[in-house]
Chains A and B, each alone.
Chain A
Amino acid sequence: MIRFVPRARTPVWLTVAVSVGSGLAALLLTAVPLALSGAPVLAAFVLMAQGAAGDGFALAETLTRATPLIFTGLAAAVAFRAKLWNIGAEGQLYAGALATVALGAGLIEAPAYILVPTVLIGAAAAGAALLLIPVLFKTRFGADEVVVTLLMNFIVLLFVQMMIEGPMKDEMAMGWPQSAPVLDEATLPKLVAGLRLHWGLVIAVVAALALHIFITRTVWGFRIRAVGENARAARYAGLPVGKAMALVGVLSGGLAGLAGASEVAGLKGYLTSDLSPGFGYAGIVVATLANLSPLGVVPAAIFVAGVFVGADSMSRAIGVSNYLADLVVAFALLSVLVGGLLTRFRIVVVRRGTA
Chain B
Amino acid sequence: MHPDPRPLVLSLAGITKRFGPLTANDQIDLDVRAGEIVALLGENGAGKTTLMSILFGHYIADEGTVHIAGADGQLVPLPGGSADAALKAGIGMVHQHFALAENLTGFENIVLGTQPLFSLTLTRRAARAKIERLMAESGLTADLDVPVARLSVGEQQRIEILKALYRDVRVLILDEPTAVLTPQEADGLAATVRALAGRGLAVIFISHKLHEVLALCERVVVLRGGAKVADRPTAGADRAMLAELMVGRAIPPRERPPSTPGAPVLSLKAVSVGSPGQRDRLEQADLDVCAGEIVGIAGVSGNGQGALASLVAGLAAPREGEARIAGARLGRADPSGRIAAGVGRIPEDRHRDGTVGALTVAENYVLESISEPENQSGGFLRRGAIRARAQEAIAAFDVRCPGPDAAIRALSGGNMQKVVLARALAREPRLVLAHQPTRGLDIGATTDVHRRLIAARGRGAAVLLISEDLDELFALCDRIAVVHAGHLSPAMDTQGLDVRTVGLMMAGHGAGEAA
Q: Which residues of A contact B (CB under 8 A)?
A: 1, 3, 5-9, 217-220, 222-223, 225-226, 229-230, 232-239, 348, 350-355
A252 vs B368: C-alpha distance in the bound complex, in angstroms? 26
Given A226-B359, A235-B315, answer yes or no on A8-B407 (Cβ-Cβ < 8 Å): yes
Cross-chain contact B363 with A8 (CB below 8 angstroms): no
Cross-chain contact B347 with A236 (CB below 8 angstroms): yes
Minimum CB–CB distance for B381 against chain A, Å: 6
Q: Which residues of A contact B63 (CB under 8 A)?
A: 353
Minimum CB–CB distance for A220 against chain B, Å: 7
A310 vs B491: C-alpha distance in the bound complex, in angstroms? 76
Cross-chain contact B353 with A233 (CB below 8 angstroms): yes
Taking a contact as CB atoms closer than 8 A, the residue among A6, A8, A217, A352 that contacts B381 in the complex is A217
A296 vs B370: C-alpha distance in the bound complex, in angstroms? 27
Cross-chain contact A6 with B65 (CB below 8 angstroms): no
Q: Which of B30-38, B54-62, B133-141 contacts A (4 or more CB under 8 A)?
A: B54-62
B296-337 Cβ-contact flags toward A at 8 Å (1 or 0): 000000000000000001110000000000000000001111
Q: Which residues of A contact B338 (CB under 8 A)?
A: 238
Task: Count residues of chain B with CB under 8 A from any CB of chain A.
Answer: 53
Q: Which residues of B contact A1 (CB under 8 A)?
A: 60
Smallest CB-CB separation from A6: which chain B residue?
B410
In the complex, 30 of the A-B residue pairs with CB atoms within 8 angstroms, ordered by the A residue number, are A5-B20, A7-B410, A8-B401, A8-B402, A8-B406, A9-B360, A9-B402, A9-B407, A218-B380, A218-B381, A219-B370, A219-B371, A219-B379, A219-B381, A222-B381, A226-B363, A230-B356, A232-B352, A233-B353, A233-B354, A236-B335, A236-B345, A238-B335, A238-B338, A239-B336, A239-B367, A239-B370, A353-B62, A354-B80, A355-B79
Given A9-B407, A229-B358, A348-B20, answer yes or no on A237-B315 (Cβ-Cβ < 8 Å): no
Smallest CB-CB separation from A225: which chain B residue?
B359
A230 vs B364: C-alpha distance in the bound complex, in angstroms? 11
Cross-chain contact B370 with A222 (CB below 8 angstroms): yes
Minimum CB–CB distance for A354 against chain B, Å: 6
Minimum CB–CB distance for A203 against chain B, Å: 23
Minimum CB–CB distance for A57 against chain B, Å: 42
A238 vs B63: C-alpha distance in the bound complex, in angstroms? 51
A291 vs B289: C-alpha distance in the bound complex, in angstroms? 49
Smallest CB-CB separation from B16: which chain A residue?
A353
Closest 7 CB pairs of A and B: A355-B80, A238-B336, A353-B62, A8-B410, A238-B335, A8-B406, A229-B358
Chain A interface main SS type: mixed
Q: Which residues of A contact B345 (CB under 8 A)?
A: 236
Q: Which residues of B contact A226 (CB under 8 A)?
A: 356, 359, 363, 367
Smallest CB-CB separation from A351: which chain B residue?
B62
Q: Which residues of B contact A234 (CB under 8 A)?
A: 356, 367
B399-420 Cβ-contact flags toward A at 8 Å (1 or 0): 0011001110110000000000
A220 vs B379: C-alpha distance in the bound complex, in angstroms? 7
Q: Which residues of B contact A (CB under 8 A)?
A: 18-20, 54, 60-66, 78-81, 313-315, 334-339, 345, 347, 352-360, 363, 367-368, 370-371, 375-376, 379-381, 383, 401-402, 405-407, 409-410
A5 vs B410: C-alpha distance in the bound complex, in angstroms? 10
Smallest CB-CB separation from B345: which chain A residue?
A236
Minimum CB–CB distance for B35 against chain A, Å: 26
Given A236-B313, A236-B347, answer yes or no on A9-B406 (Cβ-Cβ < 8 Å): yes
Given A9-B406, A233-B356, A355-B61, answer yes or no on A217-B380 (Cβ-Cβ < 8 Å): yes
Given A219-B381, A223-B370, A236-B347, answer yes or no on A355-B60 (Cβ-Cβ < 8 Å): yes
A230 vs B63: C-alpha distance in the bound complex, in angstroms? 41
Minimum CB–CB distance for B507 against chain A, Å: 31
Taking a contact as CB atoms closer than 8 A, the residue among A3, A225, A229, A236 that contacts B354 in the complex is A236
A351 vs B352: C-alpha distance in the bound complex, in angstroms? 35
Given A8-B402, A238-B335, answer yes or no on A352-B407 (Cβ-Cβ < 8 Å): no
Cross-chain contact B355 with A230 (CB below 8 angstroms): yes
Interface centre among A5, A229, A355 (most CB of B within 10 A): A355
Taking a contact as CB atoms closer than 8 A, the residue among A8, A229, A351, A355 that contacts B359 in the complex is A229
Minimum CB–CB distance for B52 against chain A, Å: 14
Other contacts beyond A225-B359, A229-B356, A238-B338: 20, CB < 8 A: A8-B402, A9-B405, A217-B381, A225-B358, A230-B352, A230-B356, A232-B353, A233-B353, A233-B367, A235-B315, A235-B335, A236-B313, A236-B354, A237-B368, A238-B339, A239-B336, A348-B20, A350-B19, A355-B80, A355-B81
Q: Which residues of A contact B381 (CB under 8 A)?
A: 217-219, 222
Cross-chain contact B62 with A237 (CB below 8 angstroms): no
Minimum CB–CB distance for B408 against chain A, Å: 9
Cross-chain contact A218 with B355 (CB below 8 angstroms): no
A236 vs B335: C-alpha distance in the bound complex, in angstroms? 6
Minimum CB–CB distance for B440 against chain A, Å: 17
Minimum CB–CB distance for A148 against chain B, Å: 26
Cross-chain contact A230 with B357 (CB below 8 angstroms): yes
Q: Which residues of A contact B353 (CB under 8 A)?
A: 232-233, 236
Minimum CB–CB distance for B265 against chain A, Å: 19
Smallest CB-CB separation from B15: which chain A residue?
A355
Minimum CB–CB distance for B325 against chain A, Å: 15
Given A3-B20, A233-B352, answer yes or no on A238-B314 (Cβ-Cβ < 8 Å): yes
A272 vs B142: C-alpha distance in the bound complex, in angstroms? 70
Cross-chain contact A218 with B379 (CB below 8 angstroms): yes
Minimum CB–CB distance for A340 against chain B, Å: 13
A223 vs B363: C-alpha distance in the bound complex, in angstroms? 10
Cross-chain contact B60 with A219 (CB below 8 angstroms): no
Taking a contact as CB atoms closer than 8 A, the residue among B18, B60, B357 that contacts A354 in the complex is B60
Smallest CB-CB separation from B335: which chain A residue?
A238
Smallest CB-CB separation from B402: which chain A residue?
A8
A235 vs B334: C-alpha distance in the bound complex, in angstroms? 9
A219 vs B315: C-alpha distance in the bound complex, in angstroms? 22
Smallest CB-CB separation from A7: which chain B residue?
B410
Taking a contact as CB atoms closer than 8 A, the residue among A7, A217, A230, A353 that contacts B60 in the complex is A353
Interface centre among A1, A3, A225, A353 (most CB of B within 10 A): A353
Minimum CB–CB distance for A12 against chain B, Å: 12
Minimum CB–CB distance for A27 against chain B, Å: 31
Q: Which residues of A contact B383 (CB under 8 A)?
A: 217
Minimum CB–CB distance for A277 against chain B, Å: 34
Smallest CB-CB separation from B408: which chain A residue?
A8
